Amino acid sequence: MIQLNDTIRIAIVQENPTMGDIIGNLQLARRARADAAALGADLVLFTELFMSGYPPEDLVLKPAFMRACDRAINDLAADTADGGPGIVIGFPRENEQGRFNAVALLDDGKIIAERYKVDLPNYGEFDEKRVFHPGPMPGPVNFRGIRLGLPVCEDIWGDLGVCETLAETGAELLLVVNGSPYYRGKVDVRHQVVMRQVIESGLPIIFANQLGGQDELVFDGASFGINADKTLAFQMKQFETQIAVAEWQRQDDGWACINGPVLPIPESEEADYRACMLGLRDYVNKNGFKTVVFGLSGGVDSALCAALAVDALGKDRVHAVMLPYHYTSDESLKDARDCAQALGFRYDTIPIFKPVEGFLDALAEQFEGTEQGVTEENLQSRTRGTLLMALSNKFGSMVVTTGNKSEMSVGYATLYGDMNGGFNPIKDLYKMQVYGLSTWRNHHVPDDAMGPDGIVIPVNIIDKAPTAELRPDQSDQDSLPEYPVLDDILECLVEHEMDVDAIVERGHPRDLVNRIEHLLYIAEYKRRQSAPGVKITKKHFGRDRRYPITNKFRDRDTL
C-alpha cells in the first residue's frame, strides 16, 4: 500500500443520493470515486449515511434494508483493491452491539475501520435516538500513515467532546461526514460550529455535507474546510453537485490546506429560492412523476410556484389551469395568462360554474333557510381541488399545492380544496417572503434554473392587493391583518415561541395577538393533513413543530 508522508489530496463528494436506492447510490459512489481518481485524489470523502440516504428513519428497522446496505459497503470496499483512492463514507451498520449511524474507512480492498456516531440528535427534524444506538467515544483511524478523526455530524455540534478526544488520542486531521439540512442562515451557523471545534481541538476540520431533497428536507451542500489557524481552507458550491479536491500539507505545526476552491455562497433570498427549487425538483423526480399540474389563480403564491416549477423541471413538464368562477376578476384572468406566457408552460382554462352550481343544487334542500357564507365559498375551492386531482389521476401529474406559511398558520386555506396536492414548495415561506422571492426572481435567474430570464411574474401580481376571490370585492385583509403585521406576530409565535405579553410589547394590540394565537392553534388539524413542503425556516410545520390537535391552552389563561 502506498504510504503518504507530507501531503494528502482529499476529494470531497457533494452528491445527491436517493433514499433507499442502495444500488443506485453504490453506482453513484463508484462514479464519484473514478472522477476523484482522475483528479489525483488519495482519499474520497462522502457524506453521512450516503449509501442509504439520509435520514432513513424506520427503514433501518427493516433487516432486508440493513443487509442491502451491508452488501453495498463491502462491494465498494472491494473496489479499493485496485490501488486507487481510499474512501470515507457513511452507512447504517447493525452488529451484535446494536444499530449505528456509521462511517467506514475503505482501502486495500477491505473495510479498514468503522466509527459510530456518538451524539444522536433528537430535536427539530431529527429523531435518531428512535432508531440508532449511540456509539462509543472514537479514536483516530490510520490511513496510509496519517491519523484521521472521523466524527459524524452531530458529534461536532454537541458538547460531548468528541473532537477533543480525537485530538488527545493522536488525530491529525478531522473529516466530518454530515447530513445537515438547510434553513435560512445555516451556512454561517455551520462555520461557527466548526470554528468552535477547531479552537477546542487545535485541529483542521473538513465538513462534507450532503446535497439534495428528501421529503421536506433540503440538503444544500456548501461543504467547506477550516484550517487549524482558523482560516477558511476551502468552500464548495451551495445547492449544486460538485467534486472538489483539497490538497493538504504537513507543516511544522500540523496540517494545512494549500490548495482548494473558495466559491461564493448565495445571499439569503437566492438561497431560499434555490432551496425551494431543489426540494421540488427532487421530490418530483425521485418519486417518479413526469409532470406537475396546479391551479394558477392570478395571485402571487401560485405565480411563484409556477416560476419554481419551470425553473426546477422545465416548461414542458409544467401544466397550469385557471379555474374561474363568478368572482374571478378579469384582472386575475389576465395576470394568470401573462404569467403562463412569460414562463412558457401549458395553460388551460376550466370554468367551474356548472360543478359548483351542481353542488349547490344538490344541497339546496339541506341549506334551505340558511345564509350564504364560508360554506359556499369553500365549495368553490373544493371544486377546484377535485378537478385538479382528476387531472392528476388521469394523466399521472403531481398536483403542486400553493399555500404559504401565513395562510397555513391561521387556517386561511380549505381542507380538500386549495390544500389538495402532493407537494408544496412554498409551504415554509411567510407571505411577505413570497413577495420578496417573487421580486428577486424577476431580476435574477439561478445558475441551475431551467426557466427564462426577465419578468416572469407580472408586476401587477406583486403589486395588487391579495384576495381569494371567493365572494364579491373580497380582500385577504377583510379577515386578517395586513401581512407585514400578521407575519411579525406569527414569527414571534411560531419561530420564537414568544409569550403574548412579549409580542404586545413589540407594538401589537393584545386582542389581535390573542386572536392570531387562537387561529394558530385551531388550524393544527389542517396542517396535519397538508402536503409536505420544503423546510426554509428553523420551525417548519411538520418535523420541527409537533403541537397537539386537541389543545385548550391559550397564553392568556396562564396563572
Catalytic residue ranges? 48, 117, 153
Residue 51's closest CA among 10, 3, 88, 12?
Answer: 88
> Do residues 317 and 308 make contact, with C-beta atoms less than 8 angstroms apart?
no
> Do residues 480 and 468 make contact, with C-beta atoms less than 8 angstroms apart?
no
> Do residues 181 and 174 make contact, with C-beta atoms less than 8 angstroms apart?
no
CA dihedral (538, 540, 543, 548) positive or negative? positive
Tally Cβ neighbours within 10 Å of residue 264.
8
Dump strand ranges (E) for 331-382: 346-349
CA dihedral (104, 210, 423, 55) positive or negative? positive
3-state secondary structure of 161: coil
Exposure string over 111-135, b if 16+ CB within 10 A, otherwise e: bbbbbbbbbbbeeebbbbeebbebb
Amino acid in position 369? G
Q: What is the DSSP string of 513-552?
A: HHHHHHHHHHTHHHHHTSPPB---SSS-BTTTB---SS--
Exposure on the CB side of residue 48, measured as CA atoms within 13 A = 29
Rounded Cα–Cα distance for residues 545 and 537 (Å): 11
Residue 49's closest CA among 145, 121, 137?
Answer: 121
CA dihedral (515, 517, 519, 521) positive or negative? negative
Entry field: residues in the chain: 559
Rounded Cα–Cα distance for residues 206 and 176 (Å): 6
Cβ neighbours of residue 279 closer than 8 Å, sequence gap 6 or more: 213, 216, 217, 218, 425, 533, 534, 535
Burial label for 506, CB within 10 Å (0-12, 13-18, 19+), is: exposed
> Do residues 424 and 530 make contact, with C-beta atoms less than 8 angstroms apart?
yes
> Do residues 116 and 93 make contact, with C-beta atoms less than 8 angstroms apart?
yes
Amino acid in position 396? G
> Do residues 512 and 481 make contact, with C-beta atoms less than 8 angstroms apart?
yes
